[in-house]
Structure 1
Amino acid sequence: MCGIAGVFNHRVNNPIDAQTLVNMAAIMHHRGPDGYGYHIQPEQGVGFSHARLSIIDLNEERAKQPFLSQDERLMLTHNGEFYDFKRIRADLTARGARFRTKSDSEIVLHLFERYGLEDTLKELRGEFAFGLYDKHEDTLYLVRDRFGIKPLYWTETDEGVVFGSELKVLFAHPQVKRSFSAEGLYHQLIQVMVPGSTAFEGVHQVQPGQVVKIKRNDGKLNIDTLKYWDVDFPDEHDYPGDEVDETEYVEGVREKLLEAVQHRMTADVPVGCYLSGGIDSCSILGLASASTQTSVKAFTIGFDSDDYDETPIAREMAEATDADHHIMALKANDLYDHFVKTLWHTERTIYNTLGVAKYLMSQQVHEAGYKVVMTGEGSDELFAGYPAFRKDMFLHGLDHLPEIERLEWQKLLEKNNQLFKGAMLAREEFSSDALNKKVGFTPSCVQPWLSCSSVAKPLINKALRTQLEDYDPGKAIADTLDETYLAGRHPLDRAQYVWIKTMLEGQILTWGGDRVDMANSMEARPAFLDHHLAEYAFTVPPHLRIKGNKEKYVLREAMKGLLPETLYKREKFAFMAPPAHTDPEKWKAVEHLADEFLSEQAVKDAGLLDFEEVEAVFTRHNSSDVTPEEQVQLDAVINHMLGVQVLHHHFVATNVPEQAQQRAQELGWIA
């Protein structure tokens, strides 16, 4: 697990500054503190760099990247893990390949040489992002894993393409411009992002399951996007009926999940587990504990609010598995005290300080001497765990049931999830014409954020707001969704597809995953997002994902033998930090940050927000007639307002190339 960076110029005679490549690696030292490497092919106008976190093949000199093929045709810089690589390496060796390292990364070079990119991607299993240059084709490939677990950004400058694992890596290059786009700012304020986009003008993400192919042709770069994988549910009419034997699916899920967990225990360093009070992480810990002869280290976040704290169930699971249990108890003021630093890593706004909590937890994992943990992310996406999925199932996926029965289930759902109304569930229904047309309805998962538009849009500085007069955020999202994978699908499948394409990649795997984990040199491995497991989960009939009012039914049954009874019977509880308004100390911390980042002068200097409207949001938040649901929504909006100001401070007002140069000097990383 590492950080990658690179430059690919329009013309081969444009020199690449080696120290700039090293600086790009140095500014993400947190991703790879165990060493760095760079390589330039000056006659080709291409150069890569790499910051290494050693997990597989701990020999620093032998496993240093970038890697070159034997004939120097190929150059690779890779971030992530490829599982089952030992089998692939053995097979390739039997076919005549000669490996120079024990690293999992090297398999890409040998697979590509023999089979080409398309067949190589079919073999790759895990979480990964890599840049691969092919001298014969004079082409750069930027590749991202199927769900977007690992980040990968790129932009085009006057001289060529710059890419890297984080935005700050691109911004460390002196030719990369650093300014918010009007659309990017808007989406930061409403939480949900357009797939493939960022907050910044001209800066893109490689989308999950896709390849950005950049081919040089007479001094020009032709850029194409190729899809190699997508979330593919069966046609609605191809599912078996209610009479299906559910045992087959229960056994299938258990088998595939166990296989995914066992693959993710492969490492040359110890592997721990994150443990909340949910089915997902408890399942991972239970299977991991059963698969090893030693006690597994488990890490839990605890909150000083009984409404949000899950440590009692986590403690029960840890005791049942004889895990070595570490609990981090967070107090209200811990979260906003680390808000600014967390956003330097997330590079996007966060609506809830869970991202800060996870940043602090990865710090403790690092201090405990662990580089790797398995996590439960992805389970809710595969098995319909979120309240929004049940709501869409009740509204759109149970036409055969009497309306009164469906409405009763929905009322029970909303009652049991009152804490999350205004965040995980919209406080009032919101409809997007574009999503209705593309999906058939507006999925409940994006309604809370799109419904913030009426509050968020007036917050934008008038000069930028004029650029958004005809802009429809729902349409912008809908336009990125592939109708091929929506047409003919069950309503629940369509809802899950939209969530996976928006909130999973843009939130859970970003500020809730890689960015706050790697901030402290800690690799997270989400076993549920193993694509072999996912492709099987897509075949599970909707009525076995949500059975009656019980979400993740098939997973519950598959894991019934190892879950505490309390947890087996418990309804899904969304893992969130307590919102700011729930604690006076936390609210004071918000006001303290607002004094610094949302003062009239700070807002004027950044030129992003309208100060009068900022004040109006705080006035409404503190008014006596505001409802709890509206307060939850305004808490999120205030976090976003703070967030865009903090991001401006970190990446626009600060001279990032100079910061990267200074970091390289401090580390002694010299070209």
Structure 2
Amino acid sequence: MTTTLAPRGPDAAGFWLDRHVGLGHRRLAIIDVRRGTQPMIAGPESGPHAVLSYSGEVYNFQELRAELVRRGHVFRTRSDTEVVLEAYLEWGTDFVRRLDGMFAFALWDAREQRLLLVRDRLGIKPLYYAPLGSGVLFGSEPKAVLAHPEFTAELDDEGLADLLALSGTPGRTPLRGLAELPPGHVLTVDRRGTRTHRYWGLESRPHEDDIPTTVRTVRELLEDIVRRQLVTDVPLCTLLSGGLDSSALTAIAAAILGGRGEGPVRSFSVDFVGSQEDFRGSEFRPDRDNPYATMVAEHIGTEHRTIELPAEALTTDGARRAVLDAHDLPLTFGDVDTSLHRLFTRIRDHSTVALSGESADEVFGGYVWFHDPKVVATEDFPWLSRMRFVPEDMLDRDFRERTRFAQLRADAYRQAVAEVDHLPGDDHHERRMREIGHLHLTRWLPVLLDRKDRLSMAAGLEVRVPFCDHRLIEYVHNIPWKIKAYDGREKSVLRGAVADLLPPAVLDRRKSPYPTTGDQRYERDLRARTAKLLQDDRSPALDFVDAGRLRELLDRPFGHFDSQLSRNPMETALMLDDWLRTYGLA
């Protein structure tokens, strides 16, 4: 089980076994590289008090450590792992509320004979589990559970339908008997059985600050968050696209390091060979990233590298298989995923930790559909107005009927909206925008965080996401929409908070998502793979995706698939086919 996770932790492996528990760990060494080995034991090895297998980072570990020292705790390492262990011994199961960071861990309390599985508030770090008899199997990725001989992979049709619908129901997977621990939850296993409880969730609170105070508070929060997330004993960089989000983080990081007499910041962006000639702008993706990334790098003074990827880096069987191996699930954004994995692999040659602008759009309202009155008024997941893996009418009819696909998605939507806590004074529009913000943070963001974690950790790269700090999210979630969009544009508050740090062209730049290749060789390869799939009557994907509709796509003129969105149905069919075959589900 532990060996399957070797890419997540290429630096070391460790095990701890007792009568009722076995813990395995793969280490990506970030802090106290020499002594922070795991599983980590608190107390004597012959009779430990607690043992921890831990993934992630706790960014306030230095403050917690100082408090624990005052309370009499003695530390053997400088690692945040030991701080988590000692915090549990001091404060008990409620200690998790004190942790600020991204984490997933298993903690065995040897005195109480109790296992705790814990996941961070936003679900930045993954954690899967499967109840098995009187116990539980668990791991950072499905592959760890699947490696156990007592777990048999079986397809769960409704779980697959939920994934294909982009409903993002917390905890659900397309494998029967396998669950994902929801963000902000703890799973407890002891002699009384298995049970979960939520320790954190989005709450609605009155926002009393005016616009200048709100903007200033966001700036102060971001500076504190980035300062904490710059702590590492290994090389760190930023992912710089030239958009507002990544540029803001890079500028703040540069200012902090410059104030310490350190730096410069290392930054990386991605581009495709021939992109200047191949690029075709659209409403969804209006311009190329690279000119803006270069502009920001020069403005801030970063040590910048552009990673250029040729078409063949995206079209090989190996490149596609690497994405499947990373995800473990039939979840794909096509060449976005393939290029992300290749980018992370190249960055890993220079850095072990990277800061990413992921989640700023969800937190601050950056997507175009936040500002589309028609989408806002529609009772459905807003992202489905622009983003789908497979349109519902392209799914196999039998699959739709046996899963009640439309009803399943509608039920998932109603469940998500029912979780929203409204304030008495909110008018109809404010209530709706609060719902849309909540939907993005609890249903859409986890999909993106899962992708970012899986593809980066498959390359042995830790990606930190400052915009997911729970303090920032709690504050910004409660900013009224009229303040969030005070200048009539997307991400007004964030733009105001960093206005003094960035070039005007970047501050005024329209939202542009992660780039995709415009190289026609990619479309040729995608068409050829899809045609081959359709020629195979035994293709398991055709039990879920309608063959006739796929053929209609292939009949469209060459050059039609000029965007990730138009390619998604074919990409999904191909990934689904590979996943079903590889995991023995066909």
Tell me the TM-score normalised to structure 2 length: 0.89
* SS of residue paired to 1:287: helix
* SS of residue paired to 1:79: strand
My pick for the range that moved more, 281-290 or 175-184, is 175-184
Question: Does the 8 A contact of 2:52 with 2:106 survive in 1?
Answer: yes
How many residue pairs match? The answer is: 560
2:104 is aligned to: 129
Alpha-carbon distance between aligned partners in 2 of 1:37 and 1:327, rounded to the nearest angstrom? 36
> Which residue of 302, 307, 325 maps to 1:344?
325
Amino acid at match of 1:585: R
My pick for the range that moved more, 617-626 or 104-113, is 617-626
How far 1:653 moved relative to its partner? 6.6
Alpha-carbon distance between aligned partners in 2 of 1:644 and 1:568, rounded to the nearest angstrom? 40
Alpha-carbon distance between aligned partners in 1 of 2:24 and 2:141, rounded to the nearest angstrom? 13
Q: Does 1:181 align with 2:156?
A: yes
How far 1:343 moved relative to its partner? 1.6
Alpha-carbon distance between aligned partners in 1 of 2:75 and 2:194, rounded to the nearest angstrom? 32
Map 1:199-348; keep pairs closer than 5 Å. 199-217=174-192, 222-234=193-205, 238-239=206-207, 245-292=210-257, 293-303=262-272, 304=275, 305-306=278-279, 307=281, 309-337=288-316, 338-348=319-329
How far 1:627 moved relative to its partner? 12
Question: Does the 8 A contact of 1:69 with 1:75 survive in 2?
Answer: yes
Question: Does the 8 A contact of 1:194 with 1:476 survive in 2?
Answer: no
Amino acid at match of 2:6: H
Two-structure CA RMSD over aligned residues (Å): 2.7
Amino acid at match of 1:126: G
Structure 2, unpaired ranges of 5+: none
CA offsets, 1:300-343, max 9 Å, x none?
01132433530000000001111111111234443233222212
Alpha-carbon distance between aligned partners in 2 of 1:211 and 1:637, rounded to the nearest angstrom? 36
Amino acid at match of 1:164: G
1:106 is aligned to: 82
Distance 1:52 1:68, change over 3 A: same
CA offsets, 1:558-581, max 9 Å, x none?
101111110111222222424xxx
Map 1:617-632; keep pairs closer than 5 Å. 617-624=549-556
Question: Does the 8 A contact of 2:353 with 2:464 survive in 1?
Answer: yes
Alpha-carbon distance between aligned partners in 2 of 1:556 and 1:132, rounded to the nearest angstrom? 41
Question: Does the 8 A contact of 2:396 with 2:546 survive in 1?
Answer: no
1:386 is aligned to: 367
Distance 1:503 1:55, change over 3 A: same
Structure 1, unpaired ranges of 5+: 1-23, 397-430, 432-440, 655-671
1:26 is aligned to: 3
> Which residue of 499, 504, 509 maps to 2:449?
509
2:466 is aligned to: 527
Alpha-carbon distance between aligned partners in 2 of 1:514 and 1:281, rounded to the nearest angstrom? 17
Distance 1:494 1:479, change over 3 A: closer
My pick for the range that moved more, 180-189 or 123-132, is 180-189
Question: Does the 8 A contact of 1:153 with 1:167 survive in 2?
Answer: yes
> Which residue of 12, 31, 44 maps to 1:35?
12
Question: Does the 8 A contact of 1:57 with 1:63 survive in 2?
Answer: yes
Question: Does the 8 A contact of 2:239 with 2:355 survive in 1?
Answer: yes
> Which residue of 498, 517, 522 maps to 1:586?
522
Distance 1:526 1:448, change over 3 A: same
Distance 1:487 1:538, change over 3 A: closer
Alpha-carbon distance between aligned partners in 2 of 1:623 and 1:530, rounded to the nearest angstrom? 47
How far 1:279 moved relative to its partner? 0.5
> Which residue of 541, 552, 555 maps to 2:491?
552
2:358 is aligned to: 377
Alpha-carbon distance between aligned partners in 1 of 2:395 and 2:408, rounded to the nearest angstrom? 11
* SS of residue paired to 1:225: strand
Tell me the TM-score normalised to structure 1 length: 0.78
1:663 is aligned to: none
Percent identity of equivalent pairs: 27
Question: Does the 8 A contact of 1:620 with 1:626 survive in 2?
Answer: no
Q: Does 1:354 align with 2:336?
A: yes
Amino acid at match of 1:644: L
Distance 1:484 1:548, change over 3 A: same
How far 1:644 moved relative to its partner? 1.2
2:39 is aligned to: 66
Alpha-carbon distance between aligned partners in 2 of 1:561 and 1:587, rounded to the nearest angstrom? 42
1:640 is aligned to: 572
Question: Does the 8 A contact of 1:189 with 1:641 survive in 2?
Answer: no
Distance 1:332 1:450, change over 3 A: closer
